[in-house]
Amino acid sequence: MDLAFSEQDEAFRQEVRDFIAGGMTDALKAKADIDAPFDMDDTMAWHKILYRKGWVAPQWPEAVGGPGLSATRRFILTEELELAGTPPLSPFGLSMVGPAIIQFGTDEQKARFLPKILSGEEVWCQGYSEPEAGSDLASLRCKADDDGDHLIINGQKTWTTYAQYADWIFCLVRTDGTGKKQAGITFLLIDMKTEGVDARPMLTIGGTPAFCDTFFDNVRVPKANIIGEINAGWTVAKALLGHERTLLAMVGTSRRTLRRIKHIAAETMSGGTALIDQPVWRNKIAHLEIELESLKMANLRVLAGADLGRAPGPESSILKLRGTEINQHIYELAMEVMGHDALSWYNDDDVIPASEQGIAPAFCYTRANTIFGGSNEIQKNIIAKWILGLPAK
C-alpha cells in the first residue's frame, strides 16, 4: 500500500501553509507562537477568515456551501491548521449540527440554518449531557411536552461548552417516557434567546470558563425546529456523535505538542546531558510518535470511506478512543519532562517561558478527553459489538 501523498496533494499542503502564514492576523500569530489560549473573539475572527477562503467547513458537500475537498485534502487542511496552532473552531455548528441538518433536515431547515452556520453569524452549542445522564445518555430526563405547534421544555443540560456565547443549542429532549428509553428522544433546535433559557458558566481546574449548566424553564420551541421525526432523535444523535468522534483523533494537535516536548527536552539538562539525548526520554517520545502515526493511518481510512459517501460508522469509536488516550499520554509526558516547573503557571512571575505555560492547563483540560464525545468505556463496547462481533457488556 502506497502511503505517500501525491504531488497534487503536497501542492495543496503548501497552499494551506501559505494561506495560514498570510491569513492569520498579527494578534492571532502572537498567541499561536506561544500556544496561548484563544478567546471566543479570536475563534470567530479565524472562523470568518476561513469562511472567506471557503475552507471553514471542509467536510460539507459543495451543494450546501462546502469546498468539495477530497478526504485526503480535508485531512491535510485539518492537520496543517492544528500544526500551525490556529484557533480551533467551535465544532458544534460546523462539524456536528450542520452535518446532522444536511443528513436529516428539511429543505426549509437547511436554507434557514446552514448559511448562518457557515458564515459564523450564528454560534451553536450542544445540549446532550445532563446530571445523571452523561455516558448513559439515553437516560436523559429533560422533558418536552406537546403543546400544539410547540414543545414546552423543562430540565437541565450540563457541560454545554461555551453556551454563554451561543445563539442556538441543539438538544436531545424526552418526548415519550413510556417505552424503551432510546425510543422516546427527539432532536430539537432551540434559540438561546428564548424566554426561560438560562446558561450559567462554571470555571474548570484548568482555568477555562468553557462549560456551562443550562436550564430550561417552560421554554416554548416550535415543532418546526425538530430535526428528523419526533421520538426518533436517537438516530440523529448517533450519526452526529459519529461525526464528532472523527474530530477527536487530534493528530495535528498531538504532533504539535510532541514537537514542543522535544524542544523542552532539548533545553532541560539532567546530569549534564539534555533529556532529548538520553535513551529513556528518547524512547518515550519515539513510542508516542509511533502510536500517533498508527492513529493517523486509521484516521485516513475513515476519511477515505467518507469520500465514498459512507457516514462515519463504529470505526469512529477507534479514533475517539485512541486519539484521546494518545493526547492524554502526550500531555502526561510533557508534564514529566518539565518536572517541578510543570505547575509554575500558577505563579505571577515568569518562572517558565510563555510557550510552556499552557501545558499544565491543557493537561488538566485533557483529563476530560476520554469522557466527552462518549466515554472511552462506551467506545470499547461499541467496538466489541459492531466491529469485533462480541456481546457488549
Q: Kindly indicate the confidence band of residue 309, based on its pLDDT and cuts at 50, 70 and 90.
A: low
Residues 63 and 155 in one domain: no
Identify the residue with better confidence: 311 or 98: 98
Residues 382 and 258 in one domain: yes
Least confident stretch, 6-15, 40-49, 277-286, 364-373: 364-373
DSSP tag of 34: T
Residues 133 and 225 in one domain: yes
Residues 252 and 381 in one domain: yes
DSSP tag of 130: B
Number of domains in the chain: 3
Q: Kindly indicate the confidence band of residue 300, based on its pLDDT and cuts at 50, 70 and 90.
A: confident
pLDDT of residue 1: 43
Tell me the per-residue pLDDT of 162-201, one tens digit each, with 9 for 90 and over: 999 999 999 999 999 888 888 999 999 999 999 999 999 9
Examine residue 237 and state whether it is found in any structural domain, yes or no: no
pLDDT of residue 240: 77
Examine residue 326 and state whether it is found in any structural domain, yes or no: yes
Least confident stretch, 91-100, 190-199, 263-272, 339-348: 339-348
Least confident stretch, 95-104, 281-290, 350-359: 350-359
Residues 269 and 327 in one domain: yes
> What percent of the chain has pLDDT above 70?
90
Choose the final residue of a domain: 36, 66, 89: 89
Examine residue 107 and state whether it is found in any structural domain, yes or no: no
Tell me the per-residue pLDDT of 101-131, one tens digit each, with 9 for 90 and over: 999 999 999 999 999 999 999 999 999 999 9
Choose the final residue of a domain: 203, 232, 261: 232
Among 147, 166, 131, which Cα is nearest to 219's?
147
Tell me the per-residue pLDDT of 3-25, one tens digit each, with 9 for 90 and over: 567 899 999 999 999 999 999 99
CATH code, domain carrying 158? 2.40.110.10
pLDDT of residue 308: 64
Choose the final residue of a domain: 232, 258, 287: 232
Statement: residue 346 has pLDDT above 60: no
Examine residue 1 and state whether it is found in any structural domain, yes or no: no
Examine residue 156 and state whether it is found in any structural domain, yes or no: yes
Examine residue 97 and state whether it is found in any structural domain, yes or no: no
Statement: residue 29 has pLDDT above 80: yes
CA atoms within 13 A on the CB side of 297: 9
CATH code, domain carrying 270? 1.20.140.10
* pLDDT, average across residues 30-49: 91
DSSP tag of 271: T
Least confident stretch, 219-233, 249-263, 328-342, 348-362: 348-362
For 173, the domain range is 124-232
Residue 320, Cα to own-chain centre: how many angstroms? 10
Q: Kindly indicate the confidence band of residue 213, based on its pLDDT and cuts at 50, 70 and 90.
A: very high
Residues 372 and 270 in one domain: yes
Among 89, 85, 27, which Cα is nearest to 53's?
89
Angle between helix 7-23 and 40-53 (nearest 10): 130
pLDDT of residue 79: 87
Identify the residue with better confidence: 205 or 217: 217
Residues 254 and 380 in one domain: yes
Examine residue 285 and state whether it is found in any structural domain, yes or no: yes
Report the distance separating Cα 392 and Cα 370, nearest Å.
19
Tell me the per-residue pLDDT of 325-335, one tens digit each, with 9 for 90 and over: 999 999 999 99
Residues 270 and 379 in one domain: yes
Question: For residue 138, what are the contacts with CB-CB under 8 A and spacing of at least 6?
Answer: 181, 182, 185, 234
Which one-letter amino acid corresponds to residue 265?
Answer: A
Statement: residue 202 has pLDDT above 80: yes
Helix (H, G, I), strand (E, B) or coil at 212: strand
Query: 347, exposed or middle or buried, with CB in 10 Å at 0-12, 13-18, 19+?
Result: exposed
Residues 216 and 180 in one domain: yes
Statement: residue 46 has pLDDT above 70: yes
Residues 301 and 367 in one domain: yes
Catalytic residues: 244
Examine residue 375 and state whether it is found in any structural domain, yes or no: yes
Statement: residue 218 has pLDDT above 60: yes
| Chain mean pLDDT for the chain | 88
DSSP tag of 139: G
Report the distance separating Cα 260 and Cα 97, nearest Å.
33
Residues 216 and 260 in one domain: no
Report the distance separating Cα 124 and Cα 277, nearest Å.
46
Helix (H, G, I), strand (E, B) or coil at 154: strand
pLDDT of residue 5: 78
pLDDT of residue 310: 63
Cell of 262: 522535544
DSSP tag of 6: P
pLDDT of residue 350: 57
Statement: residue 358 has pLDDT above 90: no
